[in-house]
Amino acid sequence: MPEQLGAAPAPVAKLIDAFHKLPGIGPKSAQRLTYHMLRIPPEEALALAQAIIELKEKTVLCSVCQNVTESDPCNICRDDARDRAVICVVEEPLDILAVERTRGFHGLYHVLHGVISPMDGVGPEDLKVNELLTRLRGGSVTEVIMATNPNLEGEATSMYISRLLTPMGIRVTRLARGLPMGSDLEYADEVTLSRALENRQDV
């Protein structure tokens, strides 16, 4: 099929569409990224493509905490110096990086890979909740810190999980309100996040 007058070539349109599917990338940004890729040297474009391929081929989810890792279990789960009685539950792998930057938490983690969001068709069964419950049945964990983002979805997810854990006799705490409502954990500065961890509250 011939290219329409004024339309982008098919490979260009395909890449624009691929970029547009990424979170936070609108149609204009997708176009700018695509035309930037056209201008860079071929070796840079190939390096980016190779990095994406390796990301998909060489990373897995840790069978213990569900974090993204090259080796299973991940480095944090293998670290004998970590406090195994405390688990910090976060929404996404990026949140672990944010908490680790505070240097104030020395326990383990569990990544849910999302939050309960009926508007988006995401229910508890779509998250790594069952994997968390399986970990907790061992009886060695005494506290679970709910470190979901302070927004409606994060709060709903935190309350849902706390209701599941209360009958198990595990203390469930929530990050203190040092974090502003509606913000994302990954954007919090180290001091704010550290104080939120220190002043966590019972759910």
Domains belonging to the chain, first-starting first, are: 10-58 (1.10.8.420), 61-202 (3.40.1360.10)
**Distance (Å, whole) CA 105 – CA 83:** 9
Q: Are 35 and 11 in contact (CB under 8 A)?
A: no
| Alpha-carbon 57 to chain mean position | 19
**β-pairing verdict for 83-90 and 107-111:** parallel
Report d(CA 45, CA 33) in Å as an integer. Answer: 12
Backbone phi, then psi, for 148, in 5-degree steps? -75, 160
Strands across the sheet containing 201-202: 107-111, 83-90, 143-146, 171-174, 201-202
Whole-number pLDDT of residue 67: 97
**Residue 82 vs residue 120, higher pLDDT:** 82
Closest CA to 143 of 107, 105, 172: 172
- Quick one: residue 98, left, alpha or beta (phi over 0 = left, psi -120 to 50 = alpha)? alpha
Share of the chain above pLDDT 90, in %: 72
Q: Which residues are paired to 88 by β-bridges?
A: 109, 145
Pairing of strands 201-202, 68-69: unpaired
37-95 pLDDT, tens digit per residue, is 999 999 999 999 999 999 999 999 999 999 999 999 999 999 999 999 999 999 999 99
Task: State residue 195's pLDDT score.
Answer: 67
If DSSP codes are grouped into helix, strand and coil, which group holds residue 60?
Answer: strand
